[in-house]
Amino acid sequence: MQLDVFDSKKYENKSFDFSFDLPSGLNYELDLYSDDPFNWIRDNGSKFDMIIVHFTEWDDILGIVHLIKTIGKKAGIAINPEQEIRDFERYIPAFDMLLVMTGKPGGYGAEFDNNMLHKIMEAREKWPEMDIEVDVGINEDTIVRAKEAGANRFVSGSYIQKSDNLEESFNNLKSIAVKR
């Protein structure tokens, strides 16, 4: 289960303020858009299994990775559509997972950008063993394209939430994702 947290002035969306008393039995992934990731992670990071950070949010990326690993969590780094892998590929091996944003972050229901498929392919070629996740515009059609490009983890929000049958939509995506 991925939760997006926005407390950055760079994005129009803002998260609801809540206690993060999350039900047990699920793995929680945090996609953090924060102007103060160090304090946010110190205060709330222990509640998540994976913490994904966006490179544009701070300067001390290796310090963030160190903090995440110090609290015993996995670290992910996100590439936004306007960024190129080459701009920060030296940092990527320090992370457990790479998230390729397949559309503009910060908007629920944003469209999948096919131009991001080359980033997925580039990342898979450079880091064949790394988990590569995609987020934004994932549905029954786009999950196939992302998977063929090399993604092995998928985040879908609006496709599932806007469907008439949440469980059926989730299971449809899951069956596509696990097909060989």
In a domain, 19, yes or no: no
In a domain, 36, yes or no: yes
Average pLDDT of span 150-165: 84
Question: Between 168 and 150, whose confidence is greater?
Answer: 150
In a domain, 18, yes or no: no
Question: Between 105 and 61, whose confidence is greater?
Answer: 61
**Domain of residue 169, CATH code:** 3.20.20.70
In a domain, 90, yes or no: yes
- Out of 26-30, 36-40, 122-126, pick the least confident: 26-30
- Out of 1-10, 38-47, 117-126, pick the least confident: 1-10
In a domain, 16, yes or no: no
Residue in the structure block whose two tokens are 């934004």: 136
Contact indicator for 111, 138 with CB cutoff of 8 Å: no
Per residue in 106-135, pLDDT (tens digit) is 666 678 899 999 999 999 999 999 999 999
pTM, two decimal places: 0.85
Write out the residue range of the structural domain in which residue 114 sits. 2-9+24-178
In a domain, 125, yes or no: yes
| 3 state SS for the chain | CEEEEEECCCCCCCCCCCCCCCCCCCCCEEEEEECCHHHHHHHHHHHCCEEEEEHHHCCCHHHHHHHHHHCCCEEEEEECCCCCHHHCCCCHHHCCEEEEECCCCCCCCCCCCHHHHHHHHHHHHHCCCCEEEEECCCCCCHHHHHHHHCCCEEECCHHHHCCCCHHHHHHHHHHHHHCC
Residue 47 — pLDDT band, cuts 50, 70, 90?
confident
> What is the number of domains present in the chain?
1
Per residue in 85-98, pLDDT (tens digit) is 998 889 999 999 99
In a domain, 15, yes or no: no
In a domain, 14, yes or no: no
